[in-house]
Structure 1
Amino acid sequence: DELASDVESQLKTKAKDFISYSLAVDESTDRTDTAQLSIFIRGVDSQLSVTEELLDVKPIHGTTTGKDIFTQVEQSVNKMELPWSKLVGLTTDGAPAMCGEVRGLVGLTRKAMGDTGENLVVYHCIIHQEALCGKVLGMEHVMTVVTKTVNFIRARGLNHRQFRALLEEENSVQEDLPYHTEVRWLSRGKVLRRFYDTRTEIARFMESKQRPVPELENEKWLGDLAFMCDITEHLNSLNVKLQGRKQLITEMWDSVKAFELKLRLWEGQMRRGNLTHFPTCQTISATVTIPRPTQVYADKLNTLKEEFSRRFADFESQKFNIDLFANPFAIDVDTAPEHLQLELIELQCNSALKTQYQSVGAAEFAPLLPESVPELRLHAANIMSMFGSTYSCEQMFSIMNLNKTSHRSRITDQHLTSVLKVATAKDIKPRIDKIICKKRCRVSGKS
């Protein structure tokens, strides 16, 4: 508790110097079915230094409506004495209670902010969005068979041991099959890859158990499996790029835009029968006799591309602000907001600053902006403070599940919050020496 209190005290002191800050809010249920609200803050001070820490963990024992969530967030913000006027971004998991514009967290936050509420930038977590985009592929006829087969092998200890022994006897490149867990971002791709690599052993094992899988003899189904392996691995690669603390929203948006362009490239190549970027499809096409349904796969890629465009429309609306931060020297002054035009001219005509920008890049360049361009500095602070995802919240929930286990389910809300504040502290560390100095040693008296 004392370590957590010291971290909170340091954060409160730092927060007084924030010129802008954003919040990432997510909610999950712990081992005792208590809803735990995770609130992370990312603030930027006058020196354009970024601080990202856990603001608070709030247990909600009753309903989890938008009003309930907002009440908890409001208490945490007020406890830290953070002015609402400096809140520039709010990132959530996209649940209705979070993103509702009237009675949700977003709507109530805008109302609490007053006149500045209309400027609040709201994002649905990029990683959640990317995971949801992958669902438009459909292909349930593939996933149903894969999941059913994997569950049969893994559900019983005897089946699992026998299957692993079979893989070892066959000198398979894979040693086991993982479960498919829907809530884990990378699970689908890993399960599909392992299933494809061990499809021969799986077919033999299932036949030995009188549970044959006829789809493993169906060339069209195997082609669909190969396509799903390749596209989910591409999606997983993007997902990994989007993970991590202190990711700049501009860099995350660059990754998404690059993936959309890749989808356009892959669609065109697929329509021409070019499988260069789909190695599993290339491999399977050499062994099957039926024509490759490349037009069907091209249509799937087109659907995925359109879903990315639709879901990331809110990021597209912030394109100018992102471009201004990423490369202020390439911005057309005539199209810029009037309060930034004079400062942009001054900046773009400064050859020394332009040289520095080219050598260090956008992220490192922001703190080098001179005091003579205060509006550009504030704009940079706003962009740097924004959360592109609720990754920090998800990471904290993993730590929560490691601490509040079935054997420690009676840990109090206060102690759980203290544990999580200490465990997640990154930019701020507990000042242990200072805490120790306040302690008084108790020396036993001499007899």
Structure 2
Amino acid sequence: MLAAKRINPELNEVLSSVVKAINFIKSNALNSRLFSLLCEDMGSLHCNLLLHTEVCWLSRGCVLSRFYELKEEVCMFLNEKKPDLADKFRDGQWVAQLAFLADIFQLLNVLNLGLQGPSMTSFDLWKKIDSKESYEMFTLFSEFMSETEGLNKRHLNSLVVTYIKSVEYYFEKYFPADADVRIQSMWVVDPFLPIKDGNLSVQEREQLIDIAADTHLKLVKSQCKNISEFWVPLLQEFPQFSVKAMNLILPFHSTCEASFSTLNLIKNKQRNRLTHLDASMRMALTALKPNIDKLCSDMQDQGSH
């Protein structure tokens, strides 16, 4: 979600301080071990911070949530080694902004993960976007605001509202309402609904009526795990109509992240000389299951000599 990367300078300063603190602790083996011992002594649920990486920037949701959870332990650890960073934890305004960033990135992280998967389509995208129109579930921020006195709540509220409006603006820019594929194509999701779409030809409407009147197909649809499973078998009986449906339910482009993760696993630092990755990627990403028995029977027997 690139919409969330545009952070105003004040919130960005908070994020930069968090990254500095994490890097100071995690980049040194002794510091990391001492911090883990401190967390154990304090009975913390977690004993390690999560490492921040600018490449997988949306992982900030998990990084910031863990950092906020261990903020007291981090403050104690930095008191002697990095007093300038430790002072920030005594600033209620700074901690409140940290709580908000942890909340907003965690929500966006959940949204982003919900858009991934081999069966995700543009219809799923718009459904997810609609479900995130409410920005009221900032639990860490709300709890800190209610439990802490002396905060400049007017400034914090202004900061939060400005950022949310910025995110909302970019959501509307990247996903304009008039581009919602559901407006005239709900027949793809459920062909048994009353016909209200205006982008179908007369021939296509007739085919849709034939499909909607088929009780067997309605039963088949109820047993399908996703809409692709319903439309693919209809390619022979309703080729033109099925092709149109399949073009609309092509996997959403965020599934390329699955390929990126797979590539990271295949071409790691131990195998960094690999160049021809097509076959490996195809085997790792395909959902097809090979028929080993048939493959073996098709091969010529190699008798011993």
TM-score by length of 2: 0.82
Deviation at 1:421, TM superposition (A): 2.7
User: Aligned match of 2:286 in 402, 422, 425?
Assistant: 425
Deviation at 1:146, TM superposition (A): 0.3
Q: In structure 1, list runs of 5 or more residues that go unmatched.
A: 1-129, 267-276
Where 1:175 maps in the other structure, the secondary structure is coil
CA 374–433 in structure 1, closer or farther in 2 if over 3 Å, else same = closer
CA 347–442 in structure 1, closer or farther in 2 if over 3 Å, else same = closer
Q: Which one-letter code corresponds to 2:251 in the other structure?
A: F
Name the counterpart of 1:234.
Answer: 107
Name the counterpart of 2:67.
Answer: 195
Q: Which one-letter code corresponds to 1:381 in the other structure?
A: M
Deviation at 1:397, TM superposition (A): 3.5
Deviation at 1:435, TM superposition (A): 4.7
Alignment of 1:261-410 (within 5 A): 261-263=133-135, 266=136, 277-285=137-145, 286-292=147-153, 293-313=156-176, 316=179, 318-328=181-191, 329-332=193-196, 335-339=198-202, 342-343=205-206, 346-347=209-210, 350=213, 352=215, 356=219, 359=222, 363=227, 365-366=230-231, 375-384=240-249, 386-391=250-255, 393-410=256-273
Where 1:217 maps in the other structure, the secondary structure is coil
Q: Which one-letter code corresponds to 2:246 in the other structure?
A: A
Q: Which one-letter code corresponds to 1:208 in the other structure?
A: E
What is the RMSD computed on CA atoms of the aligned residues? Answer: 3.2
Please state if 1:135 is matched with 2:135. no
Alignment of 1:138-287 (within 5 A): 138=8, 139-184=11-56, 186-213=58-85, 214-259=87-132, 261-263=133-135, 266=136, 277-285=137-145, 286-287=147-148
Paired with 1:365 and 1:210, the residues of 2 have a C-alpha distance of 60
Q: Which one-letter code corresponds to 1:332 in the other structure?
A: K
Paired with 2:109 and 2:14, the residues of 1 have a C-alpha distance of 18
Name the counterpart of 1:434.
Answer: 295
* Residues 356, 365 of structure 1: 8 Å contact kept: no
Deviation at 1:371, TM superposition (A): 7.4
Paired with 1:243 and 1:394, the residues of 2 have a C-alpha distance of 8
Q: Which one-letter code corresponds to 2:93 in the other structure?
A: K
Deviations 1:303-349 (A, max 9, x none): 2111101012398164445433124424425x333345642773597
Specify which structure has the higher proportion of helix: 2
Deviation at 1:241, TM superposition (A): 0.7
Paired with 2:296 and 2:212, the residues of 1 have a C-alpha distance of 51
Where 1:231 maps in the other structure, the secondary structure is helix
* Residues 422, 430 of structure 1: 8 Å contact kept: no
Q: Which one-letter code corresponds to 2:138 in the other structure?
A: F
CA 300–412 in structure 1, closer or farther in 2 if over 3 Å, else same = closer
Q: Which one-letter code corresponds to 1:289 in the other structure?
A: G
Deviation at 1:352, TM superposition (A): 3.9
Specify which structure has the higher proportion of strand: 1
* Residues 262, 281 of structure 2: 8 Å contact kept: yes
Deviation at 1:168, TM superposition (A): 0.6
Deviation at 1:152, TM superposition (A): 0.5
CA 349–168 in structure 1, closer or farther in 2 if over 3 Å, else same = closer
Q: In structure 2, list runs of 5 or more residues that go unmatched.
A: none
Deviation at 1:439, TM superposition (A): 5.2
Paired with 1:433 and 1:365, the residues of 2 have a C-alpha distance of 27
Name the counterpart of 1:98.
Answer: none
* Residues 154, 179 of structure 1: 8 Å contact kept: yes
Paired with 1:375 and 1:418, the residues of 2 have a C-alpha distance of 32
Greater displacement, 200-209 / 212-221: 212-221
Paired with 1:164 and 1:220, the residues of 2 have a C-alpha distance of 27
Deviation at 1:298, TM superposition (A): 2.0
Aligned residues: 296
CA 319–210 in structure 1, closer or farther in 2 if over 3 Å, else same = closer
Q: Which one-letter code corresponds to 1:421 in the other structure?
A: R
CA 351–405 in structure 1, closer or farther in 2 if over 3 Å, else same = closer
Alignment of 1:11-26 (within 5 A): none
Paired with 2:54 and 2:143, the residues of 1 have a C-alpha distance of 28
Pick 1 or 2: higher relative contact order, CA cutoff 8 A, min separation 6. Answer: 1
Name the counterpart of 1:19.
Answer: none
Where 1:222 maps in the other structure, the secondary structure is helix
* Residues 343, 375 of structure 1: 8 Å contact kept: no
Q: Which one-letter code corresponds to 1:177 in the other structure?
A: L
Q: Which one-letter code corresponds to 2:248 in the other structure?
A: I
